[in-house]
Every structure is written in C-alpha cells, then in structure tokens.
Amino acid sequence: MATSADLTPSPVDLTGEIEVLGRIADSSNLAVLARVSTLPGGHVIYKPIRGERPLWDFPEGTLAGREVAAQVVSELGGWDVVPPTVMRDGPLGPGSVQLWIGDPFESVADDVVVDLVPEGRTPEGWSAVLDGETPGGSAVTVVHSRADDVRSLAVLDAALNNSDRKGSHCLRDADGRLWAIDHGVTFSPTPKLRTVLWGWAGEPIVDADLARLERLRRALEASDVRDRLLVLLPVADVDALLLRVARLIDRGVHPSPRRDWPSVPWPPL
C-alpha cells in the first residue's frame, strides 16, 4: 500500500508535518485529532494503519485505503461530499489523513441529517427508517432528511457498498454543505450495504444521480483510474465497484434492504 499524499489530489494541502493532539476516544479503531503544518488553522483526523482493529469480513490493514478510495470515487463521480483525504506517512506510521469539517472543539451544527423523533411523528420532508426506544424507555423513530443532497449521498453509498452509514457520519458545515465521513468499511465485493438512509428504497434514481453514476463508470473504465484505485484497494474490490455502478445504472432504482444482511448499522446515530 502506498504512503504518498500524491495518490489523492486534494484542494487543500495535507502534506505538511503532522502534530498529534490527542486520541478520539469513541473511535473503534485508532483515530487521532491532529494539525498539519500546511493547513493553518485547520485540523485533520489521522487513522494509522497500525491502529486498525482486525475485522472478520475485511482484509487486515486495508481500512485506511478504503477511506482514501471513497474520496477518490466521490470526486470522480462529481458527488464531492467526502472531505479531502490522502494516504501518507505520519508519526504513527502510514495511514489516512482527512480534513476535519468544522471546529473539533465546538458542538456540531443544529442542521442534522439523521435524527430521533417521538415514535410515529415523522416531520414533513423526512423519512422514517425504524422504530426503537431510548435507554430511558421512550419510544422513538429514526428519521432522515429527504433533501436532494442526502438522496445523492444514498446513491454514492450504494456504489461504495458502505457497510456503516450512521447518522453521525453525515455532517453539514457552517454554510449548510453536506459532508460524509468514516468510510473504512466500504468496497467489499460481497453485498454489505448497511445504512440509515433507506428512505428512497425502490424509488427511481433521479437523473442527476444517474449522470453521476455514468460519469463514474466512464472514469472507472480508464486504465489510469483503475491503477490509482488498485494502490488503495484489493483487485476484487475494484472489479466489484465497476459492476455495482453498472448495475445501479441498468436498474435505475435505489436498492432495498437485503434479507440476509443487517440493513441498519448499530447504533444508527
């Protein structure tokens, strides 16, 4: 696996010296908050390969590459929702480095994409995903926004075969722009789509997203793009990506949950 930041062109410069500030305590794998000397005033999340927890269904040491590959695919198709992400070396060894959206020391924006509401009270412009209850016993429904950019993200997740699209992985910055983070368990050649964004299941994919998929398919058929992804992913994952994209275009509808695989990540938020 390569460790050069040049593998993933980025609109911000993430090549400078990394200063580790502290570990992100609630991450299942080693993830640290850091500064990069070429990014004045900004922060990054650095995920060293050496800190990845082995998983039964993903090859060991490949999660960082998947983080970077997700940004590459987002850019190639014109979604542009994954923050700038590169593979590079750092004080804890090679890993992914991604621009941190917002200020890590301030609370997140109130403009949430996924939320909890009292059971059965789905607001207008939102979709219900599942019912449950809080630790205190209150009946609730998990809902997500039906905004156009969220719908586009659902299409990207289907292309990525994202196995962990939680609500907290969907962010809006101060300008209201949607961003998507945490793509370590993506690109498996086995169907594993697990998401909170099921509100469009079975509905036609809109023309704008079909155009993004077609743009991505054309890019993936180029040998230089394939080579770029093969530095980050196993060959079977790259082959499966192209097949998924072609299938989404041919069928023209949002996928529906499978009966043989958990359809919603836990916790969903």
The CATH number that applies at residue 237 is 1.10.510
Co-location of 217 and 163 in the same domain: yes
pTM score of the predicted model: 0.92
Do residues 31 and 134 share a domain? no
**102 and 38 in a common domain:** yes
Residues 213 and 92 in one domain: yes
* Per-residue pLDDT, 1: 35
Judge if 139 and 207 occupy the same domain.
no
What's the domain count of the chain? 2
Kindly state whether residues 210 and 179 are assigned to the same domain.
yes
**Cα 97 off chain centre by:** 14
pLDDT of the residue at 6: 34
212 assigned to some structural domain: yes
Q: Are residues 100 and 209 in the same domain?
A: yes
Owning domain of residue 204: 5-107+147-251
Same domain, 80 and 201: yes
pLDDT recorded at residue 11: 63
Give CA angle at 71 (6, 74), nearest 5°: 130
* Residue 263 falls inside a structural domain: no
Query: Would you give per-residue pLDDT tens digits along the chain (269 residues)?
Result: 333 333 333 468 999 999 999 999 888 899 999 999 999 889 999 999 999 999 999 999 999 999 999 999 999 999 999 999 999 999 999 999 999 998 888 766 567 899 999 999 999 999 999 999 988 899 999 999 999 999 999 999 999 999 999 999 999 998 999 999 999 999 999 999 999 999 999 999 999 999 999 999 999 999 999 999 999 999 999 999 999 999 999 999 999 998 888 899 988 88
**218 and 122 fall within a common domain:** no
Same domain, 135 and 35: no
Q: Is 40 a domain residue? A: yes
Same domain flag for 80 and 55 = yes
The verdict on residue 265 lying in a domain is: no
Q: How far is CA 30 from the centre of its chain?
A: 17
Residue 261 lies in a domain: no
Q: Is residue 262 part of a domain?
A: no
Determine the pLDDT at residue 3: 35
So what's the pLDDT on residue 205?
A: 98
What CA–CA distance (Å, rounded) separates 163 from 160? 9
**112 in a domain, yes or no?**
no
Q: Are residues 13 and 131 in the same domain?
A: no
CA–CA–CA angle 23, 8, 85 (5° rounding) = 25
Per the domain annotation, does 64 fall within a domain?
yes
- What is the predicted pLDDT for the residue at 109? 59
